[in-house]
Structure 1
Amino acid sequence: MSNKKLKNEVVKTHRLNTALQKLSLAEIRLMQLAIIDARETGTGIDTVTPLPIHASRYAEAFGVTRQTAYEVLIEAETSLFKRYFTFLDERDGKPVKSHWVSQAKYLDDEAIIEIMLTPAVVQEITRIDAIEAKTLFTRFALEQVAPMKSVYSVRLYELLNQWRQAKKVSFDLDVFRGQLGVEDTEYKAMSDFKKRVLDLAVKEINEKSDLKVSYEQVKKGVAIAGFKFKVLTKAQPKNAKQEAVRDVNTADIFTVEGLNDKQLGRIVRNPAFMAEYNHLVTPTSPAGQSQQGWEFEMINRLKKDASEFKKRPIREYLEY
């Protein structure tokens, strides 16, 4: 598949999206390309097949010169191999560390870097396609973050995009710093953190992406304990494709009347349903932690009031 045919959509589980990590801007860009290309081409979607990323692919995606792209790939052969992230084990809630790649090789004559994704990364970008998917996921178009010049802007966008539908989210300060990739020794003074990380990121997101965000401090006594964000989606241009207006006479196709629990279970496990309604639960709730919790919550909501599920006819989720 040619690069031009790629959808350039980054898709990963909430767990990977909210992991504690420390990547440079070039490294996070490479991982975004790796996630996109692995899913769209099928190459490198396992832990034994090298995934090639050409310098021209990087240059085109992020609007940099070929020379800059060459330098990024050469540096990434060593730097990306050393990077790791920390996430919580689903079984016991304990922190687990994993590298992003298990192998990296730069092919100088072809200006290509070949990487192998680790099992943890492969799991978090592939299992979301399964009907039996156990986690919810985050997705966004690469074009929304490609123009950003700060790695903190990119990471904040990724984190806030997860809460686009909910329109608000709060972060505890210590975890938030780790999710953004800020070291314990960096920007220790709150004034420095806000000026060089948070305010810079918010400004760039508001100027260059499809989100409009703002925040306020959350205090515990006199100390700042975290931040509460408001997340809004900017209005689409007038020439953007508009969602078809459904005839009021077809309202019955948005009910669950006549469907049994087995059919409702198939509906709520459908990846499309999960993507369109994952904003209704939080990652820390039972519904956001397991397949069983998700099914129980969503089936009950459908039975109680199916009117909140109108993004497409309910029975359409049974068709695939």
Structure 2
Amino acid sequence: MKKELVVKDNALINASYNLGLVEQRLILLAIVEARESGKGINANDPLIVHAESYMNQFSVHRNTAYQALKDACEVLFERRFSYQSLSEKGNIQNHKSRWVSEIIYVEKEAIVKLIFAPAIIPLITRLEKHFTSYELKQVSQLSSPYAVRLYEILIAWRSTGKTPIIDISDFRERIGVLESEYSRLNNFKMRVLEPAIKQVSEHTDITVQVEQHKTGRTVSGFSFKFKQKPQLEVEKSVNPKRDPNTPDFFVEMTDAQRYLFANKLSEMPEMSKYSEGTESYSQFSARIADMLLQPEKFRAFYPHLKRVGFQSS
């Protein structure tokens, strides 16, 4: 199965910006389009995002996708982002740039054509330096722009599974909350932080815990710890509609599980068609255990496995 990979330079991951959910999704689809088509990203040639891609990736109705992309085009051109870098003399440089230099919506073709602004292009395409990469499906089920931003911020620290303490004002900027929004901490936590953590933990490949840090009696920052989910739980999180009828459905079993359930299966009348006739139950059981390593056989045996007590979660 083709994996759609998004790659962003960590300077961009750590940038302060405010994008709506549809605009974030449009940006991600454009990055994927550049990588999958082999076109790359430059300041002259537009990338094309189809409404159908938006529908399929984010599981929305056709009319919803059309309107979402049309609305995103209205505001994305005005969106800006900021980040810092070092000058040749080692001084901090504060950058501000638009996301796109041009954006076009073709209504009768249900497509968006966009050209990234020159400043953002090296941040997306400079892969030889520090970068964060992830499969687009990890954020496909996230319905909050804050959840998308939180996931991007966290996985930049995937190698350690925890972040340093992030100053609360810095974190608000990085997650995309305006100065005028959710100024009370309780409101910020209830409306932004807690729902974002809940969505990331339920619908991506990591589970998240937050710790708040105080200066005196005032909360001054947050740090996060997160763990990678087991693969089966990841599949259920990023594709909640997935079921045993999915063509590539397969659950890896431990050796102990294979032999335990193979022994149970060998005694089922329904399994007799797989027997070679002259073999003993123990021989048949051993052969079933080997067959359970094969995805196509596992899918065929799955209804019988459930009957003898196997649980895939």
Please report the TM-score for the alignment, with normalisation by the length of structure 2: 0.71
Identity of aligned residues (%): 41
Aligned residue for 1:145, secondary structure, equals helix
Aligned residue for 2:52, secondary structure, equals helix
Structure 2 residue 232 is matched with structure 1 residue 237: yes
Query: Which residue in 2 is equivalent to 1:168?
Result: 162
Matches within 5 A, 1:1-320: 7-43=3-39, 45-91=41-87, 92-128=91-127, 133=128, 135-169=129-163, 170-237=165-232
Counterpart Cα distance in 2 of 1:44 and 1:57 = 18
Counterpart Cα distance in 1 of 2:224 and 2:54 = 31
Counterpart Cα distance in 1 of 2:181 and 2:30 = 28
Measured against aligned partners, the alpha-carbon deviations of 1:160-209 in whole angstroms (never above 9, x if no partner) come to 11112111112111111001100001000000000011111111111111
Q: 1:163 to 1:240 in 2, by over 3 A?
A: farther
For residue 95 of structure 1, report the CA deviation from its aligned partner.
1.4
- Which stretch of structure 1 is more off in the superposition, 43-52 or 80-89? 43-52
Counterpart Cα distance in 1 of 2:251 and 2:170 = 37
Aligned residue for 2:140, secondary structure, equals coil
Which contiguous aligned blocks of 4+ residues in structure 1 show a shift greater than 4 angstroms?
238-242
For residue 76 of structure 1, report the CA deviation from its aligned partner.
1.9
CA contact (8 A) 1:27 1:80 kept: yes
For residue 90 of structure 1, report the CA deviation from its aligned partner.
3.1
For residue 40 of structure 1, report the CA deviation from its aligned partner.
2.1
Measured against aligned partners, the alpha-carbon deviations of 1:118-172 in whole angstroms (never above 9, x if no partner) come to 11221111121xxxx3x30001111111111111111101111111211111211
Aligned residue for 2:42, secondary structure, equals coil
For residue 241 of structure 1, report the CA deviation from its aligned partner.
7.7
Count residues with an aligned counterpart.
233
For residue 44 of structure 1, report the CA deviation from its aligned partner.
5.6
AA at the equivalent of 2:27: M
Please report the TM-score for the alignment, with normalisation by the length of structure 1: 0.70
For residue 42 of structure 1, report the CA deviation from its aligned partner.
3.1
CA contact (8 A) 1:218 1:224 kept: yes
AA at the equivalent of 1:144: Q
AA at the equivalent of 2:77: F
In structure 1, runs of 5+ residues without a counterpart are: 243-320
CA contact (8 A) 1:39 1:125 kept: no
For residue 89 of structure 1, report the CA deviation from its aligned partner.
2.4
For residue 240 of structure 1, report the CA deviation from its aligned partner.
6.4
AA at the equivalent of 1:168: K
Counterpart Cα distance in 2 of 1:29 and 1:121 = 16
Counterpart Cα distance in 2 of 1:40 and 1:223 = 47
Aligned residue for 2:231, secondary structure, equals coil
Aligned residue for 1:29, secondary structure, equals helix
Counterpart Cα distance in 2 of 1:44 and 1:210 = 27
Aligned residue for 2:119, secondary structure, equals helix
AA at the equivalent of 1:25: L
Counterpart Cα distance in 1 of 2:191 and 2:179 = 15
The structure with more radius of gyration: 2
User: Aligned-residue CA RMSD in angstroms?
Assistant: 1.7
Measured against aligned partners, the alpha-carbon deviations of 1:196-245 in whole angstroms (never above 9, x if no partner) come to 11111111111111101101111111111100111111122395689xxx
Counterpart Cα distance in 2 of 1:127 and 1:79 = 27
Q: 1:179 to 1:240 in 2, by over 3 A?
A: farther
For residue 79 of structure 1, report the CA deviation from its aligned partner.
0.6
- Which stretch of structure 1 is more off in the superposition, 48-57 or 231-240? 231-240
For residue 41 of structure 1, report the CA deviation from its aligned partner.
1.4
In structure 2, runs of 5+ residues without a counterpart are: 234-249, 254-313
